[in-house]
Amino acid sequence: MIRPLLALLLLSGSTLTGADTSTPNIIVQLTPELRTRVAVIPLEAAPFKDIIHLPGKVALNERQLARIGPSISGRVAEIKVYPGQEVRKGDVLAILNSTELSQAQAAYLKAKTQMTLQKMKAQRAKRLFEEGIISEAALREREAGLAESDVEVRALADQLSVMGMTALAVEGLNKSGLIHSLTPVTSSTDGTIIESKISVGQIAEISDEFFTVADLSTVWVSAEAPEQDAASILLGSDAEVHIAALPDHPFIGRIIYVSDTVKPDTRTVTVRISVSNPTRRLKPEMLAEMIITLHAEESITIPAEAIIRHRDRDHVFVQTHDDAFELRPVSLGSEHSGRRKVLSGLSVGDMIIAKGGFQLYNQRMLQQAN
């Protein structure tokens, strides 16, 4: 059993030393006929823009996103808008019926009445002081009471504003003295209603989120970049985005965010691109591919057609002497404009088969078989 195994190892070019035996060292000689079919070139270093491809997805632009809820507790009386509807800042989205608002209006009107009384007392005290009937201390006491009433009225007016009443509505309350328990929920931004969590009759609390309003004219594309590439990704540079659902139209965006921290579980860095979306073709959660061209650096590159795929590895035919060539394994990086970056396996000055290597590969396979 030992001799057949040893013969099999020798036939395949393997050794018992533990060295890499994936590509046996077989020298192939160029015949005059093959020489006319192949192109031999020397390797040189030249500026090469490396490209990285990152899987990602479309996301909402969080800088143009608002989650809107009530500023006061109450019961939902009416809903004005629904998902998909465009709204402007200040538009009424829903109407609440709030006893809390009624109580605040009543407190405000009461404080206004008290302030009027305090004002009359202060004016009367001033006359009496001028006539020498009361002391200055008594006058100052009346004026302090008026100031306190004024502060209370202002505070209650601010409270009504927080509850959704406009300055015009507060002025109307001053004139009419009529209490209204209805208050609007208004949009704080322009955009599209993309989510609604509200129903008529619902009891609302301040912590509730009724609507999500987003400006979809721009969206983000987020991806995770390997930590070794993060330092080469520059803020403000352009990047290309390909959407699987929209294969006919690549999008150009600008890199607006590169995380300052590395995720320990994936060893990646979050990268975010802002992309213009005027036609609304890009929709949140669409799958995307982010293509980032890094800054140029001196690198050895080879034509993509020079690569021979052998035993699940990339190889290139390299000249050993004269017209003799060997199939050498190489490690390659990204492809750009039909060329691949060489990471290891080749050096400047090496002569390689740049075209027609398949013809030489067939001859090599014949030699190996024989």
Per residue in 79-91, pLDDT tens?
999 999 999 999 9
Question: Does residue 250 sit in the same domain as residue 237?
Answer: yes
- Which CATH number belongs to the domain containing residue 225 in this structure? 2.40.30.170
Looking at residue 22, its pLDDT comes to 54
Q: How far apart are CA 87 and CA 211, in angstroms?
A: 11
Question: Does residue 90 sit in the same domain as residue 167?
Answer: yes
Q: Give the rounded percent of residues in the chain with a pLDDT score beyond 90.
A: 52
Task: With a cut of 90, say whether residue 229 has pLDDT above it.
Answer: no
Question: Does residue 86 sit in the same domain as residue 112?
Answer: yes
**Mean pLDDT score of the chain:** 86
Task: With a cut of 50, say whether residue 269 has pLDDT above it.
Answer: yes
Question: Does residue 93 sit in the same domain as residue 192?
Answer: yes
If you average pLDDT over each of 93-97, 166-170, 174-178, 179-183, which comes out highest?
A: 93-97
- Which CATH number belongs to the domain containing residue 191 in this structure? 2.40.50.100
Contacts of 335 (CB under 8 A, 6+ apart): 51, 304, 341
> Over the stretch 93-144, which tens digit does the pLDDT of each residue have?
999 999 888 898 999 999 999 999 999 999 998 898 888 888 889 889 998 9
Q: Among 279, 295, 311, give the residue marking a domain's end.
A: 295
Q: Among 161, 191, 213, give the residue marking a domain's end.
A: 213
Q: Which residue has the higher pLDDT, 94 or 248?
A: 94
Mean pLDDT over 312-328 rounds to 92
Q: Which residue has the higher pLDDT, 227 or 51?
A: 227
Question: Does residue 138 sit in the same domain as residue 111?
Answer: yes
Number of residues in the chain? 370
Confidence label for 7 from pLDDT (cuts 50, 70 and 90): very low
Mean pLDDT over 206-215 rounds to 92
Coil, helix or strand for 231? coil
Question: Does residue 77 sit in the same domain as residue 124?
Answer: yes
Coil, helix or strand for 152? helix
Residue at token pair 């100052």: 140
Question: Does residue 350 sit in the same domain as residue 276?
Answer: no
Report the number of distinct structural domains present in the chain: 3
CA dihedral 44, 45, 47, 53 (to 10 degrees): 100
Task: With a cut of 80, say whether residue 57 has pLDDT above it.
Answer: yes
> Over the stretch 8-37, which tens digit does the pLDDT of each residue have?
333 333 333 333 445 567 888 888 888 888
Mean pLDDT over 193-220 rounds to 93
Residue 156's nearest CA partner among 173, 175, 138, 144 is 173
Question: Does residue 140 sit in the same domain as residue 160?
Answer: yes
Question: Does residue 80 sit in the same domain as residue 208?
Answer: yes
Question: Does residue 202 sit in the same domain as residue 76?
Answer: yes
Residue 357's nearest CA partner among 296, 309, 289 is 309
Task: With a cut of 90, say whether residue 267 has pLDDT above it.
Answer: yes
Q: How far apart are CA 158 and CA 81, in angstroms?
A: 28
Q: How far apart are CA 167 and CA 245, in angstroms?
A: 49
Task: With a cut of 50, say whether residue 343 has pLDDT above it.
Answer: yes
- Which CATH number belongs to the domain containing residue 364 in this structure? 2.40.420.20
Identify the domain containing residue 357 by its residue range: 2-49+298-369
Confidence label for 181 from pLDDT (cuts 50, 70 and 90): confident
Question: Does residue 27 sit in the same domain as residue 106?
Answer: no
Task: With a cut of 60, say whether residue 186 has pLDDT above it.
Answer: yes
Looking at residue 6, its pLDDT comes to 31
Could you tell me how far CA 349 lies from the centroid of its own chain? Answer: 44
Question: Does residue 73 sit in the same domain as residue 203?
Answer: yes
Q: Which two tokens stand for residue 146?
A: 């008026």
Task: Report if pTM > 0.75.
Answer: no
> Over the stretch 152-172, which tens digit does the pLDDT of each residue have?
999 999 988 888 788 888 888
